[in-house]
């Protein structure tokens, strides 16, 4: 049994919907906050997907992540958009969402580092294991190159 004071505090909490326009709370609402942190100007039509993502819907999380990632990859992309994209994509990937896994592989490969390439291979392999058609083709192509004759000269590596 919870202490009495704590129970009362929980009972007093009221859940308010996120304001989505500039008229609420003087702060401009959630869309303004997202624009400030990510540089991405989401419209009212995106609010529904964002709320579904926040509620744990893997499809919506992947969609929001993809939207933010494409905005981050633009020439004038905001670094906050990439971080937010990766957050939503990981949330969806944790629920075995193959598209999100593929997006995470794409994002890791874009780093052009050894660690990024290893992470990209991991995410693409996971997406392929979850029947993502493009990831399966990419994995087949990568494995074909790795296993091709002369691709790796063991004698010279030693």
**Whether the model pTM is above 0.95:** no
DSSP state of 148: S
- 84: closest CA among 112, 107, 52? 107
| Greater pLDDT, 3 or 33 | 33
pLDDT digits (tens, 9 = 90+) for 81-121: 899 999 999 999 999 999 999 999 999 999 999 999 999 99
- Share of residues in the chain with pLDDT > 70 (%): 75
Q: Which of 31-35, 48-52, 128-132 has the lowest mean pLDDT?
A: 31-35
Long-range contacts of the stretch 77-85 (C-beta < 8 A, 24+): 77/39, 78/38, 78/39, 78/40, 80/37, 80/38, 80/39, 81/38, 81/39, 81/40, 82/107, 84/34, 84/37, 84/38, 84/40
Q: What is the pLDDT of residue 80?
A: 87
> How many whole angstroms separate alpha carbon 39 and alpha carbon 119?
26
The domain spans of the chain are 24-85, 96-148
**Cα–Cα distance, 57 to 118 (Å, whole number):** 28
Q: Whole-angstrom Cα distance, residue 50 to residue 21?
A: 14
């Amino acid at each position: 049994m919870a202490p009495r004071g704590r129970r009362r505090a929980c009972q007093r909490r009221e859940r308010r919907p996120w304001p989505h326009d500039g008229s609420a709370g003087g702060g401009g609402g959630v869309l303004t906050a997202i624009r400030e942190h990510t540089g991405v100007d989401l419209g009212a039509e995106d609010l529904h997907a964002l709320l579904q993502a926040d509620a744990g819907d893997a499809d919506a999380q992947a969609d929001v992540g993809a939207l933010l990632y494409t905005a981050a990859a633009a020439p004038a992309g905001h670094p906050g958009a990439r971080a937010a994209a990766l957050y939503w994509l990981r949330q969806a990937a944790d629920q075995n969402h193959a598209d999100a896994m593929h997006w995470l592989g794409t994002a890791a490969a874009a780093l052009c580092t050894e660690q990024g390439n290893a992470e990209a291979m991991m995410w693409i392999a996971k997406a392929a294991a979850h029947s993502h058609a493009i990831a399966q083709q990419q994995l087949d192509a990568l494995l074909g190159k790795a296993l091709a004759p002369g691709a790796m000269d063991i004698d010279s590596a030693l």
